[in-house]
Amino acid sequence: MSRIVVASLYKGFPENGGFNKEGAKLVRPNMKIMEDWVNEVNANFKHNGEFYVIDEEATQERLDSMNSGVDKKEPETDLDLEALKIEYKELSGVDPKGNWGVKKLTEEIEKLKN
């Protein structure tokens, strides 16, 4: 079973038909995301240039606060879908399609940023 971790997404620097982690650009900081997804994206770094860096300290703090009863809100999702919808609208000027999920919104935001 995968755990939810706090991780930041980076875009590697294009180099010789691939990507280099040196000089990588921070795309999204401190996201709460499934560790399995982090591992899958990191395994494909050479192809897509994206990689996550897990903040183990923040992940542990999040786990501790959940176990202590502090900050108990609604269950968390892989990413905040509403935040992605807002970001898409800010970049494109239009609302995203109603059936777009986290993956599609993330892809479309990346297209708009590049």
For 14-52, what is each residue's pLDDT tens digit?
Answer: 888 888 888 889 999 999 999 999 999 999 998 889 999
Between CA 71 and CA 57 the distance in angstroms is 17
- 8 against 75, higher pLDDT: 8
User: What's the token pair of residue 31?
Assistant: 């996201």
Between CA 7 and CA 56 the distance in angstroms is 8
Q: What are the structural domain ranges in the chain?
A: 1-78, 79-114
**pLDDT-derived band of residue 89, with 50, 70 and 90 as boundaries?**
confident
**pLDDT-derived band of residue 77, with 50, 70 and 90 as boundaries?**
low
Residue 72: pLDDT above 50? no
Q: List the one residue out of 53, 57, 45 whose CA is nearest residue 14.
A: 45
Contacts of residue 54, defined as CB under 8 A and 6 or more positions apart, other chains included, come to: 5, 6, 7, 35, 38
Task: Indicate the average pLDDT of the chain.
Answer: 83
State mean pLDDT over 47-67. Answer: 88
pLDDT in the model for residue 69:
58
- 9 against 72, higher pLDDT: 9
Q: List the one residue out of 78, 36, 79, 32 whose CA is nearest residue 55.
A: 32
**pLDDT-derived band of residue 1, with 50, 70 and 90 as boundaries?**
low
